[in-house]
Chain A
């Protein structure tokens, strides 16, 4: 390949700034944390090499196993709701409806807020005494002093619902783009054959969206598996660790209990799980 206008060596300058900061922020910490996961702090404040001991302790740590289970529930629940809501929203907003443009903008609103703002707002919406959710239940004559975030069996559900609200617009945008790429002829042909709405959805729309939905699902799994902000602020892992996910547990181990080596090992497990999904993602994109 001819590189007119440049000696080959000069090409380096295009990549150097990006490479330098990425090196400092991604690569050095990655190597460093892998090393730390094999170490443990001694009472004297020094570090000793312990090999895989941190990792070998993980399968018998009930809190870690619980956090791993909670992370799975949180991730699956969030991704399923994102896909369902996002797909339904896209299908609705792809129809010829009054004020379509306005409704599309409204449906994008949850996307605007930082996780911290979402967490605060949903805590207030779900407030047992002064929140509008319980007030609505009260007006309908239903049980109305529910502690959504203070109840062991409801807290995870509440966090997932808040997360569903925050994240469905991404899937919606992807699906809308996907819907617009479906050739119109396919629908026309189906209309000639007398196919109903359900048939059109099942045999034309869904197969055409398969790629988009798969990509969205994998990205969403990756994002939610490592999602820290919402759980940290909405429940802080409580009550009684019922919403503790692995990343909040790592945070606690590293910065509250100062078991840094052990925290590093748990973080590396998250990294390895995400590596699998990233591999699938890269494969699918066929870059």
Chain B
């Protein structure tokens, strides 16, 4: 067999397959964006139009201004940022603790932390709802902030423990000798070095809170308190869906994610795989 010819065919097939994969990944996103830029009569034109003839941002204006998505966006931001701040802080402390102190049952605790990630949300939300009702926390930011803080903790603690494990203990020792307290050593010396790990957990925690649906659905009942996922889900549930508005809302809901990914892609992928693969 002619190897050069074989190699050319291999490259042709390879690139065709890659293009197919890219089309598969990209198409729903493209369709989302083009729909969001269509006026309503083009959304429901038949035969369908793949590209808008008249490009318009009226859906974005409508969704943001009239349909209170600015409110949902604000709710999601408040909840997401607070939960991120708390979970990263708590996870830094616990991750450092697990990394530096060995005590009886610490291994068991680590596994327990890992396993809480596997709990089905639907099982927890049943008693959680009645607990929250009893103390009058339904429809509050605080409730969702605490909830999402805990949801982000297992992954974050594992991730940061791994990160602290990779930092030499001599760093702590040196800081201690220089007169730092244990806590001071963590704050002044280790935190700056652990920044990539902290960045990855930050993104993870924020996106978890930003995208969560089930607990928001059960724990938020007044539209004023809706998060952005709940606002979108509510629109999908309408009898006659205004698809251009819905796709505009979806684009808006994804913008923070795109920004975070672009910003931290490098850390995120290496961080995720470092946490996931170890042998």
Contacts and interface: CB of A to CB of B under 8 A. Distances in A.
Given A15-B97, A29-B128, A122 B28 contact: yes
27 contacts: A4-B176, A15-B109, A17-B93, A18-B91, A22-B153, A33-B124, A92-B17, A97-B15, A103-B22, A113-B257, A116-B233, A116-B253, A117-B253, A121-B247, A123-B236, A132-B27, A132-B50, A165-B25, A173-B269, A174-B277, A177-B273, A228-B121, A233-B236, A255-B129, A260-B126, A267-B123, A282-B115
Contacts of A270: 120, 122-123
Given A132-B31, A226-B122, 7 more contacts: A11-B103, A29-B123, A92-B14, A174-B276, A229-B213, A229-B214, A286-B279
A185 B89 CA distance: 43
Nearest to B89: A17
B193 interface: no
A5 B179 CA distance: 9
Interface string B43-70: 1111110100000000000000000000
A114 B146 contact: no
A115 interface: yes
Interface string A141-167: 000000000000000000000000100
A124 B247 contact: yes
Nearest to A100: B18
Q: Which 6 residue pairs spanning A and B have beta carbons closest together?
A: A14-B97, A114-B211, A32-B127, A25-B150, A267-B123, A226-B120
Contact of A177 (B15, B149, B211, B277): B277
B123 A25 contact: no
Contact of A24 (B24, B118, B150, B229): B150
Interface stretch (A57-65, A199-207, A271-279): A271-279
A18 B93 contact: yes
Contacts of A274: 118-120
A75 B218 CA distance: 24
Interface residues of A, number: 99
B120 A33 contact: no
A106 B25 contact: yes
Contacts of A108: 25, 261
B206 interface: no
Nearest to B153: A18
Interface SS, B side: helix
Interface of B: 10, 14-15, 17-18, 21-22, 24-29, 31-32, 35, 43-48, 50, 86, 89-91, 93-94, 96-97, 101-103, 107, 109-111, 113-116, 118-129, 131, 146-147, 149-151, 153, 157, 173, 176, 180-182, 185, 210-211, 213-214, 218, 229, 232-233, 235-236, 241, 243, 246-247, 250, 253-254, 257-258, 261, 265, 269, 272-273, 276-279
Contacts of A49: none
A105 B120 CA distance: 31
A33 B127 contact: yes
Among B93, B109, B218, chain A packs the most CB atoms within 10 A around the CB of B93
A98 interface: yes
A8 B103 CA distance: 9
A287 B90 contact: no
A182 interface: no
Contacts of B272: 173
A244 interface: no
Contacts of B109: 15
Interface string A226-247: 1011001100000000000001
